[in-house]
Amino acid sequence: MGLEVISTYPGPWLAWMIPMAGALLMPLLAKAGDRVRDLAAVLFAFAAVLSTFSMIPWLISGEYPGDIKLLTWIAFPDKPPLEVGLLVDPLSIIIANVVSFIAFLIVVYSVGYMHGDPCLTRYWFFFLFFIGSMLLLVLSDN
């Protein structure tokens, strides 16, 4: 089940995975220089926007995937299992687009506003992690 589900519907999965990966890579990218780190933060946020924008055609056509299950995490006897998945419906598509776009605007603004701050790498780490967490919260199926 796993990877074929992600490859069938990449937008919802990449929307939250890209900022999370960016957060984890931020300390390494900071070693390449401040400009590389700042540009990477903008690019990771922009990639999240593109991922969420890729879901808009589903919203327009009305043919959204619904509940996308990745795997069964824990199976209980005589009870419903705990599953890992995403819920892609009109509301989650709209909110995910709003979250990613506003977060991208904040990232772009923060490049200038936070310039010269000694803890900027930590700021980008937590902000990208926050973007990924918000998108996962919006798209989570349970």
What pLDDT is attached to residue 1?
55
Q: Quote the CA–CA distance of 24 and 35 in Å, as a whole number.
A: 18
* Among candidate residues 11, 42, 65, the one with its CA nearest the CA of residue 115: 42
* Among candidate residues 36, 40, 19, the one with its CA nearest the CA of residue 128: 19
- H/E element, 72: strand 66-74
What pLDDT is attached to residue 2?
61
Could you state, in chain order, the average pLDDT of each consecutive group of 10 residues for the chain (142 residues)?
70 93 96 95 98 93 83 87 88 96 98 92 97 96 82
Residues forming beta bridges with residue 20, ordered by sequence position: none
What pLDDT is attached to residue 127?
98
**pLDDT tens column, 105-142:** 999 999 999 998 999 999 999 999 999 999 999 999 87
What pLDDT is attached to residue 65?
82
What pLDDT is attached to residue 5?
65
* Among candidate residues 127, 61, 125, 116, the one with its CA nearest the CA of residue 88: 61
How many other CB atoms are found less than 10 A from the CB of residue 142? 9
| CB neighbour class for 32 (10 Å; exposed up to 12, middle 13-18, buried from 19) | exposed
